[in-house]
Amino acid sequence: MAGHGRSRSVGSVAQRLPGPSGEAVQLVIDYAKQETVGPIRGLGRFVGFGVAGSIALSIGTVLLLIGLLRLLQTETGSTFTGNLSWIPYLIVAAVALIVMALAGWRITQGPARRTARYDKEGG
């Protein structure tokens, strides 16, 4: 609320100044709004879609891992019964670790690293 009142007082100063001075102040105010509010909105949209996508991807991965577990438990006959009933859990845990390792590798070695290297080189 305090910031809102302050912008009004600056706006009213711009209106009270005669001629080019008032226009210059208004131009600076408009430019500041354009260069701050627009990028913040774009960043918020970017972060929102990123969070939504990561949540959807996480839920999908968990469901696929549960499906793999159920597949191993039901479709392998008597292979994983008795003392070997823990093996499907081990297989699914190994697959989950592989998926996490691949995701981590892509995060550290993917487009973000190429962009950082490009920025360092001054290109």
Domain extent at residue 73: 2-121
pLDDT, tens digit, 9 for 90 and up, residues 19-63: 677 788 888 888 888 888 878 888 888 899 999 999 999 999 999
Number of structural domains in the chain: 1
Please state the pTM of the whole predicted model. 0.62
Output the DSSP codes for the chain: -HHHHHHHHHHHHHHHS-HHHHHHHHHHHHHHHHHHHHHHHHHHHHHHHHHHHHHHHHHHHHHHHHHHHHHHHHHTTTTT-GGGTTHHHHHHHHHHHHHHHHHHHHHHHSHHHHHHHHHHHT-
